Amino acid sequence: MCTSIFQIGQQDGAHVLARTMDWPHLGAKPVFVPRNYAWHSVFDNSVYHTKYAVLGTGGQHDSEIDISDGVNEYGMAVQKLTFTNGSQLVEEPTPGDIHLAPFELSFYLLSQFKSVQEIVDNIEEIQLMADTHSLLKYDHSELHFSAANPTGRIVVVEPVTHPIEVIENPLGIVTNSNHFDRQIEQLSKYVEYTPEFLNHTVPLNTPRVTTGNPSGKLIPPGSYTPGSRFIRAAYLKERIDLPNNEDEAVDNCWHLLDSVNVPKSKAHQPTFSVYRAAVCCDSKNYYFQSYYQKSVYKIEFPKERINDKEVHFYQTDDRISFETLR
């Protein structure tokens, strides 16, 4: 389970895409992958080279890099999120297409494309594969993806059909439920959409897509189910003060994520919010905070490492600590 939130600075135009990562344990850390880095798909061992450098959070498994979320050198940001009973994976590979394990798509998109439009233009050549013919078995990996770039365009990438579906998302919220349109319909019980949103004519960089009129609407639910988190995050995102700049946009994201941050509770659920992260598509700054941290790491995109030969992992401290005032 995960939650994704988008915020836009009203004065500096900063576009910030943030998320919680809900998982049974923290198995990833901030990482930088340079240009021309070779990695192998676990599906068929095909070799891919990064066209663009990537800063994000992930881990290294043999000859493959697994990126959960991040930003590339052109400011395109991508996140992967679990996708409850939603993925339609391809059983038989089509010659000439790109064949990937589902969890490899986020890194592939970040390392190969400059913009959301390039994703749209090239998505038909990508197949997310079931493990029927894979070299490494990974079961039925169900994921969908959020992507944004410095123009303010934000989309949901859903493998519910082939070609993979790309859905415009001016609301700027994603959780884990399938069929994004159904979630939008469910949310209408709690908010009143603007005519532009209903007509699919929302201009880029529109910070709110609801009228703010609560008359006759329901109060958001308080559980941690994907549907409840979607409604609660969207409801609060439409009500929070608009940020002026990147710092305020990141701060907004953190306060909004507080409402969906899943506490550790082994007796009741296997997953919790092991970390939360944000990227600014414009500055390409990356923000990271693991579960036990009380402060937030900020990592500036390391331009001096773009042509390095090796991947660089950043060391973070996931321990409880407090600053004592005297």
The full set of domain ranges for the chain reads 2-313
Q: What is residue 230's three-state secondary structure?
A: helix
Instruction: Supply the pTM of this predicted model.
Output: 0.96
Return the structure tokens found at 252: 């907004």
Scan for tokens 């349109």, then name that residue: 181
- Strand positions, DSSP E, the chain: 2-8, 15-23, 29-33, 38-40, 47-49, 54-61, 64-72, 77-82, 98-100, 126-128, 143-148, 154-158, 165-168, 173-174, 272-280, 286-290, 297-299, 312-313
Taking a C-beta distance cutoff of 8 angstroms, is the pair 106, 146 a contact?
A: no
Taking a C-beta distance cutoff of 8 angstroms, is the pair 159, 177 a contact?
A: no
State residue 201's pLDDT score. 97
81 pairs with which residues across the strands? 144
Residue spans of alpha helices (H) in the chain: 105-112, 116-122, 180-187, 195-198, 226-237, 246-258
State residue 73's pLDDT score. 98
Q: What is the pLDDT along the chain (326 residues), one digit of tens a residue?
A: 699 999 999 999 999 999 999 999 999 999 999 999 999 999 999 999 999 999 999 999 878 889 999 999 999 999 999 987 778 898 999 999 999 999 999 999 999 999 999 999 999 999 999 999 888 888 878 899 999 999 999 999 999 888 999 999 999 999 998 888 999 999 999 999 999 999 999 999 999 999 999 899 999 999 999 999 999 999 999 999 999 999 999 999 999 999 999 999 999 889 999 999 999 999 999 999 999 999 999 999 999 999 999 999 999 999 999 989 99
Question: How do the residues of the chain divide into helix, strand and coil, expressed in percent and rounded to 5?
Answer: 20, 30, 50
State residue 198's pLDDT score. 97
Fold of 2-313: Penicillin V Acylase; Chain A (3.60.60)
Between the alpha carbon of residue 72 and those of residues 37, 113, 149, 249, the distances in Å are: 13, 9, 10, 19
Q: Side chain identity at 310, as an amino acid letter?
A: E
State residue 141's pLDDT score. 80
Taking a C-beta distance cutoff of 8 angstroms, is the pair 292, 276 a contact?
A: no
